[in-house]
Amino acid sequence: MKAETLKARTISSMFWKLMERGGTSLVALIVQIVLARLLAPDDFGALAIMLVFVNLGNVIVQSGLNTSLVQASNVDRRDFSTVFWMCFATATVLYVVVFLAAPAVAAFYQYDALVAPLRVLTIILFINAFNSVQVASVQRELQFRKIFWAGVVSVVASGALGIASAALGAGLWALVVQQLAYQVIYSFVLFVQNRWLPQFTFSAERARVHFSFGWKLLASGLLQTGYESLSDLIIGKQFSQAQLGLVSQGKKYPAALGTTLDGAIQPVMMSAVARAKDDLANVKGLVRRAIKTSTFLILPAMGLFAVTAQPIVLLLLGEQWLPCVPFMQMYCVVYAMLPIHTTNLQTLNGMGRSDLFLKLEIIKKCYGIAFILFFGLVLKDIYLMVGAYILSGVISTFVNAHPNKRVIGYSYGEQLRDIAPGIALTIVSMALAAPLALLGLPALGQIAVQVVVFVGHTRCLRGCSTWRNSNIWSEWRARPFPHGVAAKSYTGRYVLHGRNLMAADPILVTRSSLPPFQEFVNEIAPLWESHWLTNMGEKHAELEAQLKDRLGVQNIALFTNGHNALECILEALQLEGEVITTPFSFASTTHAIVRKGLTPVFADIRRSDCTLDPASIERAITPRTCAILPVHVYGNLCDTQAIQDIADKHGLKVIYDAAHAFGVERDGVSAAAFGDASMFSFHATKVFNTIEGGAVCFRDSSLYDVLNQWKNFGIIGPEDVEYVGGNAKMNEFCAAMGICNLRHLDSEIALRKSVHERYMERLAGTPGLKLFDVPANVTHNYAYFPVIFQDEFGASRDTVKDALAAEGIGARKYFFPLISDYACYRDTYSSAETPVARDVAQRVLTLPMYASLPLNQVDRICDIVLGCQAR
Ligand code: T4K
């Protein structure tokens, strides 16, 4: 199909699909209301029981085969006929089973009159076998207009037949006639338009193909339909058909209202999430708005419905249905929670985490079933049983929201805070409108008065300034493209988050994390009041305090960057002589030593984690040694105990370059706690960033003033400059960025962890690839994902790097060359003296690692890496 034709058809399909949904739902609602006026609750209860069998039967008959027909790339008439005969055979078997079991079912429910209607209604299985294949062929061709006509004609005609039968006193049979007629007419109208008939042909091979696709859908369909039907089965057995009829009537209308409103918002939102998923901060912003918008729509609607349920039932369904009002009100509460459920679940799907989606479904089914069984079979109270849906609904808001704390950094608490205004508004409006029932007005009058008060109050509050500040409607309307969603600019390039994004954007070794834009704006807003932008202002003090807390240290000083922090602590410790360090690091480590007038001495590293080898340190000690400067490379913690023992033995200072180790802990002890001091980098490329920035944590608290003076030109008072210091103060904007980023650090690390785990899943065990496991007693920060390519792998590190680069993926050789091989050092040092470091530097490649790296891209990277092996 040509692209333009496909586009035109897609748009036309969406139109007809909407028409079908809206139009047929409206007619069906009217038919239901008229039937409810003519029939008794018992009849609807009996129908609900029978539909449990028919619906489960339909799931089995279809077995996901129809979906397989729609999605398969190549199907011909043989496929359609094969699937039809499979469905038909299943329908025959099931029909025989239900036919024979019907008396037992009727006896179980102590309702003899159920036998014949059940046997007749189950004929639907055969019609559905035919229908499902017809619908699949129409869907493949995107001809939704045909489905629309089938839907409209069948709902109107079957409704008329059902109503006529009910008016003639057919009772339960009227409902059977309506249900059966719907399927027969639907099938006939579709046939008239489509002219498809099965042929007498069957392909075992095609049957296998379609079944192997469909059985998973069959399993999940059975689970879902079984779960949904469980309460009907229990209510029908434990209570009476009449009560089942009341409960199902009470559920029908809130369900229709809730799903219609929710369905209008969610699909648009979630496709936006999928498009923006590379930019986590924006996804979060998008999801927040989705939750706020939809709750603000659905909560008041459900509140109003609950308040006016009684006069509505009286007016539309008649007095005999008044006992369904409490159920209706309870279901209003159940469906009011819908936006939280769907937004969170759709977000997981949009972010490609359908694995979590499935887990959540299983967890929810477990406690959902337990509640239904307990309240229905043990407590035997029908109100409690329906109440169980509220209880599991409330718990499910937490269960559904929980993973999104990690996945997009949007916690349950934040979600509750976001919807709190909507809840408060609805409760107050309900409290004002509900007492009006006491006025004793006729039903229509009561509805009118309650609607006016409810809506009037809602609008009045929305109009007042405090509410307007959080009015998501204006926020929503003002943003045709949600912030951060790629939108085509006039240049034809895509603009994301203020930067140009080419169609195939490269994946680099890392990507800075940013807080939601508005959060940062809010954080820096006070600076426009105070005009205090740097020189250790309020944000600086606030971040320092928060970091002390986070790192569990007594002393910390902030700096413009990690390098200055390192130079400064070397200076403050008043060292002289040689400093033993590693050549396997970033330039900064050795440069800091040299720039402070000290002499670097290189020791070798361990293959196991690339940190300094204590034995090699010991060998490098001379009478001039004053300190050891090890690096927690990639966040891998050094052997701190062995290093401390050596330092104690020789009276040396230990200063850790912990640039990579923010947030890492061993046995609950923070990386900041080792040695005399530890330097952290908060550069844009780090797990925690302040744009540029760094800090030093230190044991001796008397160093605090010295460090602060050094970073501020050596000034100790307004007119007192004691020594030749530099300028290395973190400014207020960077500190504000740190304050924001710190809030999201846990979810940042959790996301990195999932990237790490996917790499491990795909690459671990490959001969010749050395990866770094996280020891059980270590909480890691997943700062980097280094891979060492050994000879056994069959391709060199450089080959892999080039292969990745050819696909726009920027892996980096952290750290090659060794510092001792830099032009500025190679005349003085020889990398031959650190053979392990030299070998690792030749073989190491750090693969892309950042929180918003999509897992499918991790897979792509792994495919390329593993593809090199085969060359
Ligand atoms: N000690 C050690 C062990 C260190 O690794 C470092 C810094 C220091 C000390 C000194 O700390 P600071 O003084 O920097 O606070 C990068 C970083 O610039 C450097 O901070 C870091 N180590 C080093 C390991 O990596 P380059 O030269 O690789 O940076 P660059 O510009 O190539 O960026 C790497 C990738 O990061 C880019 O491909 C894309 C991404 N990126 C980069 C920037 C600048 C972003 O996503 N956003 C950005 O703003 O050194």
Task: Give the residue from 693, 723, 742 where a domain finishes.
Answer: 742
How many Å lie between the centroid of ligand 1 and the Cα of residue 683?
A: 6
Q: Are residues 404 and 265 part of one domain?
A: yes
How many Å lie between the centroid of ligand 1 and the Cα of residue 811?
A: 13
Looking at residue 671, the DSSP 8-state letter turns out to be G
Q: Is pLDDT larger for residue 451 or for residue 177?
A: 177
Q: How far apart are CA 110 and CA 539, in angstroms?
A: 73
Q: How far is CA 680 from CA 268, 389, 525, 592, 605, in A?
A: 43, 50, 27, 14, 21
CA 464, 469, 470, 475 torsion: positive or negative? positive
Q: 8: pLDDT confidence band, cut at 50, 70 and 90?
A: low
Cβ of residue 149 lying under 6 Å from some atom of ligand 1: no
Asked if the structure places residue 495 within a domain, the reply is no
Q: How far apart are CA 306 and CA 584, in angstroms?
A: 68
The position carrying tokens 């809130």 is 254
Q: 296: pLDDT confidence band, cut at 50, 70 and 90?
A: confident
Could you tell me the pTM of the whole model? Answer: 0.52
Q: How far apart are CA 199 and CA 166, in angstroms?
A: 39
Q: Are residues 412 and 285 part of one domain?
A: yes
Three-state secondary-structure class, residue 629: strand
Q: How far apart are CA 723 and CA 715, in angstroms?
A: 8
Cβ of residue 694 lying under 6 Å from some atom of ligand 1: yes
What is the structure's pLDDT at 21?
60
Q: Are residues 654 and 525 part of one domain?
A: yes
pLDDT(4) > 80: no
- Weakest-pLDDT range from 306-310, 493-497, 605-609: 493-497
How many Å lie between the centroid of ligand 1 and the Cα of residue 660?
A: 10
Q: Is the previous residue joined to 515 through a cis bond, with omega within 30 degrees of 0?
A: no
Instruction: Provide the token pair at 401.
Output: 């929201």
Q: Are 403 and 360 in contact (CB under 8 A)?
A: yes
Query: Of all residues in the chain, what percent are helix, strand and coil, respectively (each to 5)?
Result: 65, 10, 25
Q: Are residues 523 and 474 part of one domain?
A: no
The domain of 258 spans 3-478
Q: Are residues 417 and 323 part of one domain?
A: yes
Q: Is pLDDT larger for residue 458 or for residue 614?
A: 614
Cβ of residue 685 lying under 6 Å from some atom of ligand 1: yes
Q: How far is CA 387 from CA 329, 334, 368, 371, 503, in A?
A: 10, 9, 12, 10, 51
Tens digit of each residue's pLDDT (9 = 90 or more) over 568-593: 999 999 999 999 999 999 999 999 99
Cβ of residue 567 lying under 6 Å from some atom of ligand 1: no
Asked if the structure places residue 311 within a domain, the reply is yes
Task: Give the residue from 478, 508, 532 where a domain finishes.
Answer: 478
Q: Are residues 588 and 529 part of one domain?
A: yes
Largest CA distance in the chain: 111
Residue bearing the CA closest to ligand 1, atom 29 = 685
Domain count, the chain: 2
CA 44, 46, 49, 52 torsion: positive or negative? negative
**Counting atoms of ligand 1 from 1, which one is nearest the CA of 657?**
1
Asked if the structure places residue 433 within a domain, the reply is yes
Pairing of strands 499-501, 665-666: unpaired
Looking at residue 322, the DSSP 8-state letter turns out to be G
How many Å lie between the centroid of ligand 1 and the Cα of residue 684?
A: 7
Q: Are 282 and 486 in contact (CB under 8 A)?
A: no
Instruction: Provide the token pair at 263.
Output: 């369905």
Tens digit of each residue's pLDDT (9 = 90 or more) over 41-56: 999 999 999 999 999 9
Pairing of strands 785-789, 769-770: antiparallel
**Total Cβ atoms within 10 A of residue 127:** 19
Asked if the structure places residue 837 within a domain, the reply is no
The position carrying tokens 């409690």 is 384
Q: Are residues 431 and 524 part of one domain?
A: no
What is the structure's pLDDT at 68?
81
How many Å lie between the centroid of ligand 1 and the Cα of residue 792?
A: 31
pLDDT(501) > 60: no
**Counting atoms of ligand 1 from 1, which one is nearest the CA of 633?**
3
Instruction: Provide the token pair at 795.
Output: 């391709």
**Total Cβ atoms within 10 A of residue 463:** 10
What is the structure's pLDDT at 280?
72
pLDDT(465) > 70: no
What is the structure's pLDDT at 449?
85
Asked if the structure places residue 532 within a domain, the reply is yes
Q: Are 86 and 211 in contact (CB under 8 A)?
A: yes
What is the structure's pLDDT at 665?
96
Q: How far apart are the first and last CA of the chain?
A: 38
Q: 121: pLDDT confidence band, cut at 50, 70 and 90?
A: very high
Asked if the structure places residue 751 within a domain, the reply is no
Instruction: Provide the token pair at 71.
Output: 């999605």
Task: Give the residue from 683, 712, 742 where a domain finishes.
Answer: 742
Q: Is pLDDT larger for residue 403 or for residue 264?
A: 403
Q: 265: pLDDT confidence band, cut at 50, 70 and 90?
A: low
Which residue, among 163, 159, 90, 161, has the nearest Cα to 128 in the 3D structure?
A: 90
Q: How far apart are CA 462 and CA 728, in angstroms?
A: 48
Q: Are residues 196 and 71 part of one domain?
A: yes
Rg of the Cα atoms in the chain: 34
Mutation choice for ligand 1 from 563, 566, 612, 685, CB with most ligand atoms inside 8 A: 685
**Counting atoms of ligand 1 from 1, which one is nearest the CA of 850?**
46
Residue bearing the CA closest to ligand 1, atom 48 = 684
Q: How far apart are CA 295 and CA 263, in angstroms?
A: 12
Q: Are residues 543 and 470 part of one domain?
A: no
Q: Are residues 203 and 114 part of one domain?
A: yes
Q: Are residues 104 and 245 part of one domain?
A: yes
Asked if the structure places residue 654 within a domain, the reply is yes
Q: 504: pLDDT confidence band, cut at 50, 70 and 90?
A: very low
Asked if the structure places residue 728 within a domain, the reply is yes
Q: Are residues 374 and 281 part of one domain?
A: yes
Tens digit of each residue's pLDDT (9 = 90 or more) over 53-94: 999 999 998 878 887 887 776 778 889 999 999 999 999 999
CATH number of domain containing 726: 3.40.640.10
Q: 346: pLDDT confidence band, cut at 50, 70 and 90?
A: confident
